[in-house]
C-alpha cells in the first residue's frame, strides 16, 4: 500500500515537472514564432520600400520565395501567410519594440523609417540574439500566439484592442477567441453599455465595477445546439446549459463561478427554487438566473410561483 502511494506521489511530481517544462517550451516557441513572423513582415515591407518588390513583379517574387521557403522549411510560408506577416508588421510596428543591440560586429543604423524612429533597428537580421531583443510595448501582447494574431488582423482597430486585452487577461485559446469574435461579444457589450463606457472597452477591456457591467445584450447560446423553432422546455434549456457549463461560463464572462441549479429556498413556509445560481468573484456578488423560454411577462418578474406549479407548467 505504502509503496504504491509513494510511487504515485513520485509519478505526479515528475509529471508536473514535465508538464511545466513543456509549457515553458511551448510558450517560448510561440513567442519566437510571433517575433520571427513580425521580422519576416518587416523585411518584406522594407524590401518594398526600397522598390525591390513592386506591383505584379512583387507578387511573382513573393510566390517564388514562398515556394523556396516551403521547400526548405515545410508548411507555414504560403503566399497568404507571407502576406499575413506583412500585414502583421504594418499593424503592430509601433507596438513591438526593437531594442538597440550591443553586438559590435553588426552595423547599427538609425532607422530612416519614420514609424520606428525611436529605436535603433538592426538590419539585416542575422542573429538569434536579435529575436530576444524584441519585446511588446504592451506586456499582454506577449501572451498571444501567432494564431491569435492572425484572427486579430481581421478586425478593426477598436475591437482588435478589446480582443487583445481580453484574450490575454482570460487566457483565451485561439478557439475561445474565435468563438467570442464570432458571437460578436464586442458589439454586444457596446449595445449594453452607455456611450461613456464604450471607449473603455478598447482601452482596458471589460471592466467590472457595477452590476450592469456583467450584462450583455443579447446572450448567445449557439453552443447548446438547440434549434430555434424546436419545442424545448425550460428544464431542457437548463440541462443543456449545465451540460455545456464551460461554454456558458465563457459566454457569461470573467469572474463567474457556478454554484447550483434549482437551488431551493424557503420563504414564509413555501419552497421556491432558483434556476441557476452563479457567483462573480470580481464583483463579489451572487448572480441568479431565471430561464424563460417564452416572452417576458409581468409574472416572471413579479408573481410568486411555488416550485411545484412552475415545473409542471
Which positions lie near another protein, rule CB under 8 A?
A: 182-184, 187-188, 190-192, 195, 210-212, 214-222, 224, 226-228, 265, 267, 272, 274, 280, 283-305
Minimum CB separation of residue 177 from another protein in Å reads 15
Q: Between 1 and 301, whose beta carbon lies closer to another protein?
A: 301
Q: Between 145 and 180, whose beta carbon lies closer to another protein?
A: 180
As given in the structure block, the three cell numbers for residue 258 are 457556478
Cα 252 from Cα 213, distance rounded (Å):
11
Which cell is 148 given? 491569435
| Minimum gap (Å) between residue 149 Cβ and another protein | 20
Q: Which residues contact 50 (CB under 8 A, 6 or more apart)?
A: none
Sign (positive/negative) of CA torsion 204, 120, 111, 151?
Answer: negative
Residue (129 or 300) nearer to another protein, CB: 300
Taking the complex as a whole, how short is the minimal distance between the CB of residue 258 and another protein, in angstroms? 14
Nearest to 288, CA basis, from 300, 303, 306, 270: 300
What is the grid cell recorded at 154? 481581421
| 260 SS3 class | strand
Q: How far is the CB of 167 from another protein (least distance, A)?
A: 18
Nearer to another protein, 35 or 152 (CB): 152
Smallest distance, Å, CB 138 to another protein? 26
Q: How far is CA 230 from CA 104, 217, 227, in A?
A: 71, 23, 5
| Between 143 and 263, CB nearer to another protein | 263
Amino acid at each position: 500500500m505504502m509503496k504504491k502511494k509513494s510511487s504515485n506521489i513520485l509519478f505526479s511530481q515528475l509529471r508536473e515537472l514535465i508538464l511545466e517544462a513543456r509549457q515553458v517550451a511551448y510558450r517560448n516557441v510561440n513567442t519566437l514564432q510571433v517575433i520571427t513572423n513580425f521580422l519576416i513582415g518587416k523585411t518584406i515591407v522594407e524590401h518594398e520600400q526600397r522598390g525591390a518588390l513592386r506591383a505584379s513583379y512583387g507578387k511573382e517574387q513573393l510566390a517564388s520565395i514562398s515556394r523556396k521557403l516551403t521547400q526548405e522549411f515545410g508548411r507555414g510560408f504560403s503566399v497568404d501567410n507571407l502576406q499575413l506577416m506583412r500585414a502583421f508588421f504594418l499593424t503592430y510596428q509601433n507596438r513591438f519594440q526593437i531594442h538597440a543591440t550591443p553586438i559590435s560586429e553588426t552595423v547599427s543604423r538609425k532607422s530612416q523609417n519614420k514609424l520606428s524612429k525611436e529605436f535603433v533597428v538592426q538590419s539585416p537580421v542575422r542573429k538569434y540574439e536579435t529575436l530576444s531583443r524584441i519585446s511588446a510595448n504592451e506586456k499582454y501582447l506577449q501572451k498571444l500566439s501567432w494564431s491569435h494574431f492572425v484572427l486579430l488582423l481581421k478586425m478593426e482597430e477598436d475591437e482588435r484592442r478589446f480582443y487583445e486585452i481580453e484574450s490575454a487577461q482570460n487566457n483565451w485559446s485561439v478557439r475561445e477567441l474565435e468563438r467570442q469574435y464570432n458571437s460578436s461579444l464586442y458589439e454586444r457589450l457596446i449595445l449594453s453599455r452607455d456611450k461613456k463606457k464604450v471607449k473603455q472597452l478598447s482601452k482596458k477591456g471589460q471592466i467590472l465595477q457595477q452590476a450592469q457591467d456583467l450584462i450583455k445584450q443579447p446572450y448567445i447560446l449557439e453552443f447548446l445546439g438547440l434549434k430555434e423553432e424546436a419545442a424545448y422546455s425550460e428544464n431542457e434549456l437548463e440541462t443543456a446549459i449545465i451540460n455545456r457549463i464551460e461554454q456558458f461560463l465563457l459566454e457569461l464572462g470573467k469572474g463567474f463561478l457556478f454554484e447550483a441549479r434549482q437551488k431551493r429556498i424557503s420563504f414564509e413556509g413555501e419552497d421556491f427554487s432558483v434556476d441557476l445560481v452563479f457567483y462573480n468573484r470580481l464583483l463579489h456578488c451572487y448572480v441568479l438566473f431565471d430561464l424563460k423560454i417564452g416572452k417576458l411577462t409581468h409574472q416572471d418578474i413579479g408573481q410568486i410561483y411555488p416550485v411545484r406549479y412552475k415545473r409542471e407548467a
